[in-house]
Chains A and B, each alone.
Chain A
């Protein structure tokens, strides 16, 4: 101590417990992971029973309408294991699940694992990109609105955001295709238009690596916009509220009273606090994006898992539906965990709380 102040520093004891260090954080992650196992199994089981209890025979769907006699159908059912009682099927399914064997997709004629390996990365690319755009745009717009509260820009943006927020993604997708793909290219002859289907151009193989990246991004524009616009509007609305709450806080006034420029007050002191509640919303937004992919992937002929699940439900392809939803659920659980870890990093107070 450098000074000889007269005051003895015997305030009330520093009652706050010592912080959880790195090891504790990984233990926390592990505990959350273990806790998530029943959740994921529960979700998949619900889907298993819902799909299996449904009327309609997958064996018939494999045959041409009206074709095939009873013997053929029985043979197919035996091959697929559908002749056994439901609880046996369930136990078998559960058992094969733990060995990483998700069964055989009869509508695709390939192991489920192979189908998933082909489609899941595409869905992750699309939804990850859409989420990143939604969060980026939403946070920036919401912050601008909060800082300019009561201004004309704030009111106009609020109405515009609510408009986008109220818009069904599939309709937006069609409008985007109509305007920015078809009309822009064929009628208005704009220099810029965007592809309305597939993930890459047909000449993708001939492109340079930069060209490939550009081609991928170019194909992502419309589906990602359709998927993320209403989400971005929702995040912006939430962000505006969070930011307005934070800029009323005492510590923001403290920052101003130090003479900090407004830019630092907002982007250093206010923003990081306002982001915490937004991060926790990841757990709500990711299932929403996955829901969205079911429709958006169908519209844009995107070879992803959302579209595959939709087709599989129609074909009563049980193993594929159940494994697909399992992966959706697993991703949501992992993303929630990631959000909690990010939250703990963004807000030092959280790490010290003992439980979930």
Chain B
């Protein structure tokens, strides 16, 4: 038995050295195996296709440096992680597992959620190494007379647009806008929402009613109208859009955290902390907020998807990041004028949005199921 396991580990280590993630995949651990293997293949392909490019990028522009270092560091990290991982014994029993370990296990059993997670990891990697993989520069215009609105071809896999730019490259660069806006805006709103909600729920009374009246007001308002009003009113920049999205999103998080804190407040372990004479601040920061984290994580993941759609909507109304910077929403808007003779212009950026948002929603659903002890049974 132990011999067999040792043989198995030796075999796994050899495989892991060549294809990190494969041993985990073969053992049925789709989550870690899939992420490691696809990252390895993606970054490896970028490196093998042009090792010179990658090395040159290390000293190039800011953009290229990030890409180059991502490739190298990513490859090393994946290789090491997989090597260390296969050495460990995987025969952990359910007893003695922490809540987070249990949740991880439940999450990795959910195939769709794991697929979503792999997709997100790949999307972020692609966004980071875009300068090394995009076939063309996103704003590079080819001959307007002959290269406008060319359909799908080998040199332009997703065609060219009305200004003879490569659609695929623009989509790849546009991913950076969507992913970073989604991530940062949700980060801002979750931070504000958590604190405001926790304060309202914990202190109650007048504080609670004032805060919640305000939250009700913001929630019952069509968000896009508010966004349009603010964005149209000021000079639009990448940062303004991130901040405005972040500042209009927090009320729903606040509502969620408040509800969670209200129910936690009555639970025994909080009563116990009170009976022990802990300070209010310590109870709030040390006990209430950490326990409200799981629902917030779920809401945040689903919120990233919503924010990406919202940002695309603003860009579609030409209120997003300004031209010529490629963003998925503005690409769809630009394609609209040529929709009937160049269908690919609007179609592919839209599909990029759908699959990105889908990935976040799959992971959000998976997290919700995994973090809810009632559903784990």
Contacts and interface: CB of A to CB of B under 8 A. Distances in A.
Contacts of A299: 336
Interface string A269-299: 0000000000000011001101110110011
A171 interface: yes
B255 to A, nearest CB: 10
Given A166-B358, A313-B228, A287 B223 contact: yes
A42 B229 CA distance: 16
Interface residues of A, number: 48
A121 interface: no
B17 interface: no
B361 A39 contact: no
A342 B222 CA distance: 22
> Which of B305, B309, B312 gathers most chain A CB within 10 Å?
B309
A332 B216 CA distance: 11
A325 to B, nearest CB: 6
B340 A284 contact: no
Given A43-B217, A166-B361, A171 B229 contact: no
B343 A178 contact: yes
B331 to A, nearest CB: 10
Interface residues of B, number: 43
Given A55-B233, A168-B353, A295-B316, A329 B220 contact: yes
A336 interface: yes
Interface string B328-344: 01001001100110010
Given A177-B339, A310-B317, A163 B358 contact: yes
Contacts of B313: 168-170, 295
Contacts of B354: 163, 166-168, 171
A314 B319 CA distance: 10
B221 A50 contact: no
Nearest to B340: A182
A313 to B, nearest CB: 5
Contacts of A332: 220-222
B225 to A, nearest CB: 6
Given A162-B358, A178-B343, A294-B224, A170 B316 contact: yes
Contacts of B232: 54, 313-314
B233 A166 contact: no
Interface string A155-194: 0000100110111111100110110001000000000000
A343 interface: no
B221 A328 contact: yes
B229 A47 contact: yes
A146 interface: no
B213 interface: yes
A321 B229 contact: yes
B222 A291 contact: yes
Interface of A: 39, 42-43, 46-47, 50-51, 53-56, 159, 162-163, 165-171, 174-175, 177-178, 182, 283-284, 287-288, 290-292, 294-295, 298-299, 309-310, 313-314, 321, 325, 328-329, 332-333, 336
Interface of B: 112, 213, 216-217, 219-226, 228-230, 232-235, 305, 309, 312-313, 316-317, 329, 332, 335-336, 339-340, 343, 346-347, 350, 353-355, 357-358, 361-362, 365
16 contacts: A39-B217, A162-B358, A165-B361, A166-B353, A166-B355, A166-B361, A168-B329, A168-B350, A171-B312, A174-B339, A175-B347, A182-B339, A287-B220, A291-B224, A298-B317, A313-B229
